[in-house]
Amino acid sequence: MDYKKMQVDPLANTRDVKALEIKADNVYEMVMIIAKRANQISLEIKDELQHKIKEVSSVIDNLEEVFENREQIELAKFYETLPKATLIAMHEYMDDKVYFRADTQEEEL
């Protein structure tokens, strides 16, 4: 999914928990679904950023290049402006773009 083109509010706003809970069985399940999706998004963005930094970084690093590598600075600024992974996950959850299934098997003691 292209997180750069998503229209997500970058500010953390107060949400109506009761309205979000309707899609899940309870509040805790909803929080776990959003948290797991946020972890997935965070890892995807991190991998993408590391891949792009490897492309931009030069083989020979001297002191002047470390401080003046404009491409890395611009890349870092761009990724800093992206919305947080939790906000993206919340947006996906509210738009029914997250697939989840409940494990119905109960453990026997």
Q: Where are the domains of the chain?
A: 18-94
Q: How far apart are alpha carbons 61 and 49 in whole angstroms?
A: 19
pTM across the whole model: 0.74
pLDDT, one tens digit per residue, over 25-69 is 788 888 898 999 999 999 999 999 888 888 877 655 555 555 567
Instruction: Please give the single-letter amino acid code of residue 85.
Output: A
Q: How far apart are the first and last CA of the chain?
A: 41
Instruction: Please give the single-letter amino acid code of residue 15.
Output: R
- Tokens 């991190």: give the residue: 46
Residue 96 — left, alpha, or beta (φ > 0 → left; ψ -120 to 50 → alpha)? left
Q: How far apart are alpha carbons 45 and 109 in whole angstroms?
A: 41
- Mean pLDDT rounded to a whole number for the chain: 78
| pLDDT confidence bin for 72, thresholds 50/70/90 | confident
